[in-house]
Amino acid sequence: MLYRIFLPAVICIALLSGCAASKNYNPNKKYSVQQLQQDYTLLRKILEAKHPSLYWYTSKDSMNMFFDNGYKSITDSMTELQFGWNVLAPVINKIRCGHTSFSMSKNWYQFQQKIRIPSFPLHLKVWKDTMVIIENLNKKDSILKQGMLVTSINGMRNNETIKTMFDYLPLDGYADNVNYVRISSNFPFYHRNVFGVYSTYRVGYIDSMGKEKSTIVPMYIQSPDTGRNKIVDSSESKITRHQLHKLYIKNLRSFTIDASLKTSVITLNTFTNGRRKHLRHFIKSSFRTIRKNKIGNVILDLRRNGGGDLNMSMVLAKFLRNTPFKATDSAFAVTKSLKPYTGYIKHGFINNLGFFLLTKRRKDGLVHYGYLEHHLFKPKVKNHFNGKLYVLVNGPTFSASTIFCNQVKGQENVKIVGEETGGGWYGNDGVMIPDITLPITKLRVRLPLFRIVQYNHVPFKGTGIMPDIYIPPTVDGVRNSEDRKMEIVKQMIKEENK
Protein backbone atom coordinates (compact mmCIF):
# COMPACT_ATOMS: atom_id res chain seq x y z
CA MET A 1 0.00 0.00 0.00
CA LEU A 2 1.28 3.46 -0.94
CA TYR A 3 1.55 6.05 1.77
CA ARG A 4 3.28 9.41 1.91
CA ILE A 5 5.98 10.27 4.41
CA PHE A 6 5.92 14.03 4.91
CA LEU A 7 9.14 16.01 4.80
CA PRO A 8 9.84 16.34 8.55
CA ALA A 9 9.51 12.57 8.83
CA VAL A 10 11.90 12.24 5.90
CA ILE A 11 14.52 14.11 7.87
CA CYS A 12 13.94 11.85 10.87
CA ILE A 13 14.41 8.76 8.69
CA ALA A 14 17.60 10.27 7.33
CA LEU A 15 18.93 10.88 10.82
CA LEU A 16 18.10 7.35 11.91
CA SER A 17 19.93 5.94 8.90
CA GLY A 18 23.27 6.51 10.55
CA CYS A 19 24.36 10.14 10.25
CA ALA A 20 23.97 12.71 12.98
CA ALA A 21 22.96 16.28 12.26
CA SER A 22 25.08 19.31 13.01
CA LYS A 23 24.98 20.22 16.70
CA ASN A 24 23.94 23.76 15.89
CA TYR A 25 21.36 23.07 13.18
CA ASN A 26 18.02 21.33 13.44
CA PRO A 27 16.31 20.79 10.06
CA ASN A 28 13.09 19.84 11.86
CA LYS A 29 12.87 23.20 13.58
CA LYS A 30 9.53 24.82 12.86
CA TYR A 31 9.14 28.56 12.48
CA SER A 32 5.98 30.22 13.73
CA VAL A 33 3.42 31.75 11.39
CA GLN A 34 4.52 35.21 12.52
CA GLN A 35 8.21 34.47 11.80
CA LEU A 36 7.44 33.09 8.34
CA GLN A 37 5.23 36.07 7.55
CA GLN A 38 8.03 38.44 8.56
CA ASP A 39 10.52 36.79 6.19
CA TYR A 40 7.93 36.61 3.42
CA THR A 41 6.91 40.25 3.77
CA LEU A 42 10.54 41.39 3.71
CA LEU A 43 11.22 39.36 0.56
CA ARG A 44 8.18 40.83 -1.16
CA LYS A 45 9.25 44.39 -0.30
CA ILE A 46 12.77 43.81 -1.67
CA LEU A 47 11.52 42.26 -4.90
CA GLU A 48 8.96 45.02 -5.45
CA ALA A 49 11.56 47.73 -4.84
CA LYS A 50 14.67 46.29 -6.54
CA HIS A 51 13.79 43.62 -9.12
CA PRO A 52 14.07 45.06 -12.66
CA SER A 53 11.53 42.73 -14.30
CA LEU A 54 8.97 41.79 -11.67
CA TYR A 55 6.15 42.67 -14.06
CA TRP A 56 7.81 41.82 -17.39
CA TYR A 57 5.78 38.67 -17.99
CA THR A 58 3.24 38.89 -15.19
CA SER A 59 1.07 41.98 -14.73
CA LYS A 60 1.32 43.93 -11.49
CA ASP A 61 -2.25 42.99 -10.54
CA SER A 62 -1.55 39.29 -11.11
CA MET A 63 1.77 39.43 -9.28
CA ASN A 64 0.09 41.12 -6.33
CA MET A 65 -2.47 38.32 -6.31
CA PHE A 66 0.28 35.67 -6.32
CA PHE A 67 2.10 37.46 -3.50
CA ASP A 68 -1.11 37.70 -1.50
CA ASN A 69 -1.94 34.03 -2.06
CA GLY A 70 1.54 33.04 -0.91
CA TYR A 71 1.09 35.03 2.28
CA LYS A 72 -2.34 33.48 2.90
CA SER A 73 -0.85 29.98 2.50
CA ILE A 74 1.21 30.52 5.67
CA THR A 75 -1.42 29.14 8.04
CA ASP A 76 0.72 26.96 10.27
CA SER A 77 4.31 26.65 11.46
CA MET A 78 6.75 25.21 8.89
CA THR A 79 10.29 23.95 8.61
CA GLU A 80 12.78 25.73 6.40
CA LEU A 81 12.29 23.09 3.70
CA GLN A 82 8.52 23.37 3.76
CA PHE A 83 8.58 27.17 3.64
CA GLY A 84 11.00 27.16 0.71
CA TRP A 85 9.26 24.60 -1.48
CA ASN A 86 5.61 25.06 -0.47
CA VAL A 87 5.50 28.86 -0.31
CA LEU A 88 8.48 30.59 -1.94
CA ALA A 89 9.06 28.36 -4.98
CA PRO A 90 5.52 28.63 -6.46
CA VAL A 91 5.46 32.43 -6.02
CA ILE A 92 8.94 32.99 -7.49
CA ASN A 93 7.96 30.83 -10.48
CA LYS A 94 5.32 33.44 -11.40
CA ILE A 95 7.99 36.11 -11.96
CA ARG A 96 9.25 34.07 -14.94
CA CYS A 97 12.84 35.15 -14.42
CA GLY A 98 15.41 32.37 -14.70
CA HIS A 99 17.84 34.26 -12.48
CA THR A 100 15.33 34.63 -9.64
CA SER A 101 15.28 31.41 -7.65
CA PHE A 102 15.36 30.30 -4.05
CA SER A 103 17.88 28.05 -2.32
CA MET A 104 18.09 26.54 1.12
CA SER A 105 20.23 28.01 3.88
CA LYS A 106 23.94 27.32 4.05
CA ASN A 107 23.34 25.25 7.17
CA TRP A 108 20.89 23.04 5.28
CA TYR A 109 23.42 22.30 2.53
CA GLN A 110 26.08 21.41 5.09
CA PHE A 111 23.59 19.20 6.90
CA GLN A 112 22.31 17.32 3.85
CA GLN A 113 25.85 16.40 2.80
CA LYS A 114 26.09 14.28 5.96
CA ILE A 115 22.81 12.41 5.68
CA ARG A 116 20.96 10.10 3.32
CA ILE A 117 17.48 11.34 2.49
CA PRO A 118 15.06 8.77 1.02
CA SER A 119 13.78 9.48 -2.49
CA PHE A 120 12.05 8.20 -5.59
CA PRO A 121 14.36 5.49 -7.00
CA LEU A 122 14.42 6.33 -10.73
CA HIS A 123 16.50 8.87 -12.61
CA LEU A 124 14.46 9.85 -15.67
CA LYS A 125 15.15 11.73 -18.89
CA VAL A 126 12.15 14.00 -19.38
CA TRP A 127 10.87 15.92 -22.41
CA LYS A 128 7.34 16.94 -23.41
CA ASP A 129 5.21 14.11 -21.97
CA THR A 130 7.96 11.47 -22.27
CA MET A 131 9.88 9.90 -19.39
CA VAL A 132 12.68 7.38 -20.04
CA ILE A 133 14.63 5.59 -17.34
CA ILE A 134 18.28 6.65 -17.21
CA GLU A 135 19.12 4.72 -14.06
CA ASN A 136 17.35 2.65 -11.42
CA LEU A 137 18.96 3.29 -8.05
CA ASN A 138 17.48 0.04 -6.74
CA LYS A 139 20.02 -2.19 -8.51
CA LYS A 140 18.23 -5.41 -7.61
CA ASP A 141 15.07 -4.37 -9.47
CA SER A 142 14.66 -6.84 -12.35
CA ILE A 143 11.78 -5.00 -14.06
CA LEU A 144 12.58 -1.30 -14.51
CA LYS A 145 15.71 -0.94 -16.64
CA GLN A 146 17.53 1.80 -18.53
CA GLY A 147 15.70 2.88 -21.67
CA MET A 148 12.23 1.83 -20.55
CA LEU A 149 9.33 4.27 -20.93
CA VAL A 150 7.58 5.36 -17.74
CA THR A 151 3.92 6.36 -18.14
CA SER A 152 2.82 7.29 -14.61
CA ILE A 153 3.93 7.64 -10.99
CA ASN A 154 1.42 6.90 -8.25
CA GLY A 155 -1.41 7.12 -10.77
CA MET A 156 -0.39 10.54 -12.05
CA ARG A 157 0.25 10.58 -15.80
CA ASN A 158 3.47 12.06 -17.16
CA ASN A 159 2.04 15.32 -18.48
CA GLU A 160 0.40 16.11 -15.13
CA THR A 161 3.54 15.21 -13.17
CA ILE A 162 5.74 17.42 -15.35
CA LYS A 163 3.28 20.33 -15.35
CA THR A 164 3.08 20.22 -11.55
CA MET A 165 6.87 20.19 -11.16
CA PHE A 166 7.25 23.09 -13.60
CA ASP A 167 5.08 25.26 -11.32
CA TYR A 168 7.89 25.18 -8.73
CA LEU A 169 10.84 25.98 -11.01
CA PRO A 170 12.18 29.29 -12.39
CA LEU A 171 12.42 30.04 -16.12
CA ASP A 172 12.92 32.95 -18.51
CA GLY A 173 9.54 33.90 -19.93
CA TYR A 174 8.05 30.74 -21.40
CA ALA A 175 11.29 29.02 -22.41
CA ASP A 176 10.59 25.89 -20.39
CA ASN A 177 13.11 23.61 -22.12
CA VAL A 178 15.57 24.42 -19.34
CA ASN A 179 13.28 22.75 -16.82
CA TYR A 180 13.02 19.52 -18.82
CA VAL A 181 16.79 19.29 -18.58
CA ARG A 182 16.84 20.48 -14.96
CA ILE A 183 14.38 17.78 -13.90
CA SER A 184 16.26 15.19 -15.96
CA SER A 185 19.49 16.04 -14.14
CA ASN A 186 18.07 14.83 -10.79
CA PHE A 187 14.50 13.61 -11.04
CA PRO A 188 14.46 12.05 -7.53
CA PHE A 189 15.43 15.40 -5.95
CA TYR A 190 12.70 17.41 -7.65
CA HIS A 191 10.04 14.74 -7.24
CA ARG A 192 10.82 14.48 -3.52
CA ASN A 193 10.60 18.23 -2.92
CA VAL A 194 7.43 18.77 -4.95
CA PHE A 195 5.45 15.64 -4.08
CA GLY A 196 7.09 14.39 -0.88
CA VAL A 197 8.49 10.92 -0.21
CA TYR A 198 6.50 7.68 -0.27
CA SER A 199 7.48 4.37 1.25
CA THR A 200 6.58 2.72 -2.06
CA TYR A 201 5.67 4.00 -5.51
CA ARG A 202 3.41 2.54 -8.18
CA VAL A 203 5.21 3.08 -11.48
CA GLY A 204 3.47 2.62 -14.83
CA TYR A 205 5.75 1.52 -17.67
CA ILE A 206 5.83 0.05 -21.19
CA ASP A 207 7.20 -3.49 -21.30
CA SER A 208 9.27 -5.10 -24.07
CA MET A 209 6.08 -6.16 -25.84
CA GLY A 210 4.77 -2.60 -25.96
CA LYS A 211 2.12 -3.17 -23.31
CA GLU A 212 1.50 -0.81 -20.43
CA LYS A 213 1.95 -2.37 -17.01
CA SER A 214 2.65 -1.20 -13.46
CA THR A 215 4.82 -2.31 -10.60
CA ILE A 216 5.41 -1.34 -6.97
CA VAL A 217 8.91 -0.15 -6.10
CA PRO A 218 10.29 0.88 -2.70
CA MET A 219 11.77 4.28 -1.94
CA TYR A 220 15.54 4.47 -2.24
CA ILE A 221 17.86 5.04 0.71
CA GLN A 222 21.54 5.37 -0.06
CA SER A 223 23.78 2.87 1.70
CA PRO A 224 26.45 4.19 4.09
CA ASP A 225 29.63 5.44 2.45
CA THR A 226 32.18 3.04 3.91
CA GLY A 227 34.97 4.69 1.98
CA ARG A 228 34.51 8.10 3.54
CA ASN A 229 37.11 7.52 6.23
CA LYS A 230 39.68 5.88 3.99
CA ILE A 231 43.21 7.00 4.81
CA VAL A 232 45.63 7.67 1.93
CA ASP A 233 49.32 8.44 2.12
CA SER A 234 50.59 11.92 1.26
CA SER A 235 51.94 11.04 -2.20
CA GLU A 236 48.65 9.47 -3.26
CA SER A 237 46.80 12.48 -1.90
CA LYS A 238 48.91 14.87 -4.00
CA ILE A 239 48.32 12.84 -7.16
CA THR A 240 44.61 12.74 -6.45
CA ARG A 241 44.43 16.50 -5.98
CA HIS A 242 46.27 17.05 -9.27
CA GLN A 243 43.97 14.67 -11.09
CA LEU A 244 40.92 16.30 -9.57
CA HIS A 245 42.13 19.71 -10.71
CA LYS A 246 42.57 18.44 -14.27
CA LEU A 247 39.08 16.94 -14.21
CA TYR A 248 37.71 20.20 -12.84
CA ILE A 249 39.23 22.21 -15.68
CA LYS A 250 38.10 19.65 -18.25
CA ASN A 251 34.58 19.93 -16.88
CA LEU A 252 34.69 23.68 -17.44
CA ARG A 253 36.15 23.65 -20.94
CA SER A 254 37.97 21.50 -23.46
CA PHE A 255 39.45 21.72 -26.93
CA THR A 256 39.99 18.82 -29.33
CA ILE A 257 40.72 18.38 -33.02
CA ASP A 258 39.30 15.66 -35.25
CA ALA A 259 41.87 15.65 -38.07
CA SER A 260 39.80 13.29 -40.24
CA LEU A 261 36.93 15.80 -40.32
CA LYS A 262 39.14 18.91 -40.22
CA THR A 263 37.00 19.88 -37.29
CA SER A 264 37.65 21.33 -33.85
CA VAL A 265 35.31 20.77 -30.91
CA ILE A 266 35.29 23.51 -28.28
CA THR A 267 33.29 22.76 -25.15
CA LEU A 268 32.55 25.73 -22.90
CA ASN A 269 30.41 24.97 -19.86
CA THR A 270 30.72 28.41 -18.31
CA PHE A 271 31.90 31.93 -19.06
CA THR A 272 33.09 32.24 -15.48
CA ASN A 273 36.25 30.68 -14.09
CA GLY A 274 37.52 32.61 -11.11
CA ARG A 275 40.39 34.28 -12.87
CA ARG A 276 39.12 35.64 -16.16
CA LYS A 277 42.56 35.58 -17.77
CA HIS A 278 42.55 31.76 -17.75
CA LEU A 279 39.40 31.58 -19.85
CA ARG A 280 40.56 34.44 -22.07
CA HIS A 281 43.82 32.59 -22.71
CA PHE A 282 41.93 29.38 -23.51
CA ILE A 283 39.77 31.16 -26.09
CA LYS A 284 42.72 32.91 -27.72
CA SER A 285 44.92 29.82 -27.83
CA SER A 286 42.07 27.72 -29.25
CA PHE A 287 41.59 29.99 -32.25
CA ARG A 288 45.33 30.33 -32.76
CA THR A 289 45.56 26.53 -32.92
CA ILE A 290 42.59 26.39 -35.30
CA ARG A 291 44.32 28.83 -37.67
CA LYS A 292 47.67 27.03 -37.55
CA ASN A 293 46.05 23.67 -38.28
CA LYS A 294 43.84 25.12 -41.05
CA ILE A 295 40.67 23.82 -39.43
CA GLY A 296 37.60 24.53 -41.54
CA ASN A 297 34.84 23.53 -39.10
CA VAL A 298 34.24 24.33 -35.45
CA ILE A 299 31.64 22.70 -33.21
CA LEU A 300 31.06 24.97 -30.21
CA ASP A 301 29.26 23.05 -27.46
CA LEU A 302 27.31 25.39 -25.14
CA ARG A 303 24.71 22.85 -23.99
CA ARG A 304 25.80 23.05 -20.35
CA ASN A 305 26.80 26.71 -20.37
CA GLY A 306 24.64 28.53 -17.83
CA GLY A 307 26.35 31.85 -18.49
CA GLY A 308 28.73 33.85 -16.32
CA ASP A 309 30.86 36.83 -17.27
CA LEU A 310 29.14 38.71 -20.09
CA ASN A 311 32.43 40.30 -21.15
CA MET A 312 33.99 36.87 -21.66
CA SER A 313 31.16 35.87 -24.00
CA MET A 314 31.97 39.01 -26.00
CA VAL A 315 35.63 37.92 -26.19
CA LEU A 316 34.47 34.69 -27.80
CA ALA A 317 32.08 36.51 -30.13
CA LYS A 318 34.90 38.72 -31.46
CA PHE A 319 36.63 35.65 -32.92
CA LEU A 320 33.45 34.55 -34.69
CA ARG A 321 31.30 37.55 -35.49
CA ASN A 322 32.00 39.16 -38.89
CA THR A 323 30.71 42.68 -38.16
CA PRO A 324 30.94 45.11 -35.21
CA PHE A 325 28.33 44.60 -32.49
CA LYS A 326 27.17 45.74 -29.06
CA ALA A 327 26.62 43.61 -26.00
CA THR A 328 23.03 44.79 -25.51
CA ASP A 329 20.44 47.20 -26.82
CA SER A 330 19.74 48.22 -23.24
CA ALA A 331 20.89 47.28 -19.75
CA PHE A 332 19.16 49.01 -16.87
CA ALA A 333 18.17 48.74 -13.23
CA VAL A 334 15.22 50.28 -11.42
CA THR A 335 17.31 51.41 -8.47
CA LYS A 336 20.55 53.29 -7.88
CA SER A 337 21.07 51.67 -4.47
CA LEU A 338 20.00 48.63 -2.48
CA LYS A 339 19.09 50.81 0.50
CA PRO A 340 17.30 50.30 2.88
CA TYR A 341 17.82 46.56 2.32
CA THR A 342 21.59 46.52 1.84
CA GLY A 343 22.19 44.46 4.97
CA TYR A 344 20.02 41.59 3.73
CA ILE A 345 21.79 41.33 0.37
CA LYS A 346 25.13 39.60 -0.18
CA HIS A 347 27.96 42.01 -1.00
CA GLY A 348 25.43 44.81 -0.64
CA PHE A 349 28.08 47.50 -0.14
CA ILE A 350 30.04 46.34 -3.20
CA ASN A 351 26.90 46.28 -5.35
CA ASN A 352 26.02 49.78 -4.19
CA LEU A 353 29.53 50.88 -5.16
CA GLY A 354 29.04 49.27 -8.58
CA PHE A 355 25.82 51.23 -9.06
CA PHE A 356 27.64 54.44 -8.15
CA LEU A 357 30.62 53.87 -10.46
CA LEU A 358 29.05 52.14 -13.48
CA THR A 359 25.52 53.45 -13.86
CA LYS A 360 23.66 56.68 -14.51
CA ARG A 361 20.01 57.58 -14.05
CA ARG A 362 18.48 58.93 -17.25
CA LYS A 363 15.39 60.86 -18.20
CA ASP A 364 13.33 57.66 -18.41
CA GLY A 365 13.86 57.27 -14.66
CA LEU A 366 15.85 54.05 -15.09
CA VAL A 367 19.45 53.43 -14.07
CA HIS A 368 21.46 52.53 -17.17
CA TYR A 369 24.72 50.60 -17.51
CA GLY A 370 26.11 52.73 -20.33
CA TYR A 371 29.12 50.59 -21.24
CA LEU A 372 27.00 47.57 -22.12
CA GLU A 373 24.61 49.75 -24.13
CA HIS A 374 27.10 51.83 -26.10
CA HIS A 375 30.44 50.04 -26.40
CA LEU A 376 31.04 48.78 -29.93
CA PHE A 377 32.94 45.48 -30.07
CA LYS A 378 34.97 44.89 -33.22
CA PRO A 379 35.77 41.47 -34.69
CA LYS A 380 39.27 40.14 -34.17
CA VAL A 381 41.50 40.27 -37.21
CA LYS A 382 44.24 37.97 -35.96
CA ASN A 383 43.07 34.34 -35.65
CA HIS A 384 39.50 35.23 -36.60
CA PHE A 385 37.57 32.11 -37.65
CA ASN A 386 35.81 32.31 -41.01
CA GLY A 387 34.95 28.65 -41.53
CA LYS A 388 31.72 26.86 -40.67
CA LEU A 389 30.53 27.15 -37.10
CA TYR A 390 28.01 24.81 -35.46
CA VAL A 391 26.80 25.94 -32.03
CA LEU A 392 25.20 23.18 -29.93
CA VAL A 393 22.51 24.46 -27.57
CA ASN A 394 19.66 23.24 -25.36
CA GLY A 395 17.78 24.26 -22.20
CA PRO A 396 20.77 24.94 -19.91
CA THR A 397 22.23 27.32 -22.53
CA PHE A 398 21.46 30.39 -20.49
CA SER A 399 22.24 34.02 -19.71
CA ALA A 400 25.60 35.10 -21.22
CA SER A 401 25.71 32.05 -23.48
CA THR A 402 22.29 33.00 -24.90
CA ILE A 403 23.54 36.54 -25.50
CA PHE A 404 26.50 35.08 -27.38
CA CYS A 405 24.20 32.89 -29.50
CA ASN A 406 22.14 35.93 -30.46
CA GLN A 407 25.33 37.69 -31.62
CA VAL A 408 26.20 34.99 -34.15
CA LYS A 409 22.76 33.62 -35.12
CA GLY A 410 21.87 34.41 -38.71
CA GLN A 411 25.46 34.83 -39.84
CA GLU A 412 25.98 32.96 -43.13
CA ASN A 413 28.60 30.55 -41.81
CA VAL A 414 26.82 29.79 -38.51
CA LYS A 415 24.23 27.17 -37.60
CA ILE A 416 22.60 26.96 -34.17
CA VAL A 417 21.90 23.27 -33.55
CA GLY A 418 19.92 21.39 -30.91
CA GLU A 419 16.96 22.58 -28.85
CA GLU A 420 15.51 25.89 -27.66
CA THR A 421 17.77 27.67 -25.19
CA GLY A 422 16.61 28.33 -21.64
CA GLY A 423 17.88 31.90 -21.74
CA GLY A 424 15.50 34.47 -23.24
CA TRP A 425 16.01 35.44 -26.88
CA TYR A 426 14.52 38.89 -26.42
CA GLY A 427 16.44 39.43 -23.20
CA ASN A 428 16.85 38.41 -19.58
CA ASP A 429 17.99 39.70 -16.21
CA GLY A 430 21.46 39.60 -14.75
CA VAL A 431 24.84 41.40 -14.63
CA MET A 432 24.81 41.61 -10.81
CA ILE A 433 22.94 38.73 -9.14
CA PRO A 434 23.45 38.79 -5.35
CA ASP A 435 21.56 36.62 -2.86
CA ILE A 436 18.93 37.95 -0.50
CA THR A 437 19.24 36.14 2.85
CA LEU A 438 16.04 36.11 4.85
CA PRO A 439 16.94 36.99 8.46
CA ILE A 440 14.85 34.36 10.28
CA THR A 441 14.78 31.20 8.14
CA LYS A 442 18.08 32.04 6.37
CA LEU A 443 16.60 30.93 3.05
CA ARG A 444 18.22 32.66 0.09
CA VAL A 445 16.69 34.19 -3.04
CA ARG A 446 18.73 35.35 -6.02
CA LEU A 447 18.10 38.96 -7.02
CA PRO A 448 19.17 40.05 -10.52
CA LEU A 449 19.65 43.80 -10.57
CA PHE A 450 19.65 44.60 -14.31
CA ARG A 451 17.34 43.89 -17.20
CA ILE A 452 19.18 43.14 -20.42
CA VAL A 453 17.52 43.51 -23.82
CA GLN A 454 19.44 41.71 -26.56
CA TYR A 455 21.39 43.58 -29.24
CA ASN A 456 19.20 43.79 -32.35
CA HIS A 457 16.63 41.79 -30.43
CA VAL A 458 13.77 39.83 -31.94
CA PRO A 459 10.38 41.62 -31.89
CA PHE A 460 8.75 39.06 -29.59
CA LYS A 461 9.63 37.97 -26.08
CA GLY A 462 9.15 34.86 -24.01
CA THR A 463 10.98 32.18 -26.00
CA GLY A 464 14.56 31.02 -25.92
CA ILE A 465 16.74 31.15 -29.03
CA MET A 466 15.36 28.71 -31.55
CA PRO A 467 17.86 26.41 -33.29
CA ASP A 468 18.40 26.53 -37.05
CA ILE A 469 18.59 22.74 -36.96
CA TYR A 470 16.30 21.12 -34.40
CA ILE A 471 17.56 17.85 -32.89
CA PRO A 472 15.30 16.59 -30.08
CA PRO A 473 16.08 13.72 -27.72
CA THR A 474 14.80 10.26 -28.65
CA VAL A 475 14.00 7.16 -26.66
CA ASP A 476 16.61 5.16 -28.58
CA GLY A 477 19.18 7.86 -27.95
CA VAL A 478 18.62 7.71 -24.20
CA ARG A 479 18.49 3.92 -24.25
CA ASN A 480 21.86 3.72 -26.01
CA SER A 481 23.46 6.65 -24.11
CA GLU A 482 24.10 8.45 -27.41
CA ASP A 483 25.14 12.06 -27.90
CA ARG A 484 22.84 12.46 -30.91
CA LYS A 485 23.36 16.19 -31.40
CA MET A 486 27.12 15.84 -31.61
CA GLU A 487 27.00 12.76 -33.82
CA ILE A 488 24.49 14.28 -36.24
CA VAL A 489 26.60 17.43 -36.65
CA LYS A 490 29.73 15.38 -37.27
CA GLN A 491 27.86 13.35 -39.88
CA MET A 492 26.74 16.58 -41.56
CA ILE A 493 30.35 17.76 -41.71
CA LYS A 494 31.44 14.38 -43.07
CA GLU A 495 28.87 14.61 -45.84
CA GLU A 496 29.91 18.16 -46.70
CA ASN A 497 33.57 17.13 -46.87
CA LYS A 498 32.91 14.53 -49.59
Q: 392-447 pLDDT, tens per residue?
A: 999 999 999 999 999 999 999 999 999 999 999 999 999 999 999 999 999 999 99
Q: Which residues of 363-384 are buried (b: 16+ CB within 10 A; e: fewer)?
A: eeebbbbeebbeeebeebeebe
Burial of residue 210, with CB atoms counted within 10 A of its CB: 0-12 exposed, 13-18 middle, 19 or more buried: exposed
pLDDT, residue 113, reads: 80
- For residues 273 and 310, the model is more confident at 310
pLDDT, residue 222, reads: 79
- For residues 222 and 352, the model is more confident at 352
pLDDT, residue 468, reads: 97
Give the mean model confidence (pLDDT) for residues 450-459.
93
484 half-sphere exposure, CB direction, 13 A CA radius: 16
CA 132 to chain centre: 21
Average pLDDT score over the chain? 90
Decide if pLDDT at 17 tops 50. Answer: no
CB neighbour list of residue 460: distance below 8 Å, 6 or more residues apart: 426
Task: Tell me the CA distances in angstroms from 7 to 130, 421, 445, one per residue in order.
Answer: 27, 33, 21
Give the mean model confidence (pLDDT) for residues 351-356.
93
Q: Kindly state the helix (H) or strand (E) to which residue 73 belongs, with its residue range.
A: none
Q: Which residues partner with 362 through β-bridges?
A: none
Task: Tell me the CA distances in angstroms from 112 to 22, 72, 77, 311, 444, one per residue in order.
Answer: 10, 29, 22, 35, 16
pLDDT, residue 272, reads: 86
- For residues 284 and 497, the model is more confident at 284
Where does the pLDDT of residue 274 fall: very low under 50, low under 70, confident under 90, or very high at 90 and above? low
Closest listed residue to residue 201, CA positions, set 160, 152, 139, 164? 152
Closest listed residue to residue 385, CA positions, set 300, 448, 297? 297
Where does the pLDDT of residue 112 fall: very low under 50, low under 70, confident under 90, or very high at 90 and above? confident
Give the mean model confidence (pLDDT) for residues 138-143.
91
pLDDT tens digits, 212-257: 999 999 999 877 654 444 434 444 455 676 666 667 777 789 999 9
pLDDT, residue 263, reads: 95
Angstrom distance (rounded) from CA 245 to CA 158: 40
pLDDT, residue 123, reads: 97
Decide if pLDDT at 19 tops 60. Answer: no
pLDDT, residue 15, reads: 47
pLDDT, residue 236, reads: 47
Angstrom distance (rounded) from CA 120 to CA 156: 14
CA–CA–CA angle 268, 126, 102 (5° rounding): 70
CB neighbour list of residue 358: distance below 8 Å, 6 or more residues apart: 369, 370, 371
What is the rounded end-to-end Cα distance, in angstroms, of the chain?
61
Strand order in the sheet with 444-446: 102-103, 444-446, 435-437
Angstrom distance (rounded) from CA 267 to CA 289: 15
pLDDT, residue 10, reads: 52
pLDDT, residue 197, reads: 92
Angstrom distance (rounded) from CA 441 to CA 29: 10
pLDDT tens digits, 153-165: 999 999 999 999 9
**CA Rg value for the chain:** 24
Angstrom distance (rounded) from CA 9 to CA 125: 28
Where does the pLDDT of residue 7 fall: very low under 50, low under 70, confident under 90, or very high at 90 and above? low
pLDDT tens digits, 284-295: 999 999 999 999
pLDDT, residue 498, reads: 76
CB neighbour list of residue 291: distance below 8 Å, 6 or more residues apart: 383, 385
Task: State pTM to two decimals.
Answer: 0.89
pLDDT, residue 117, reads: 84
Least confident segment among 24-33, 37-46, 197-206: 24-33
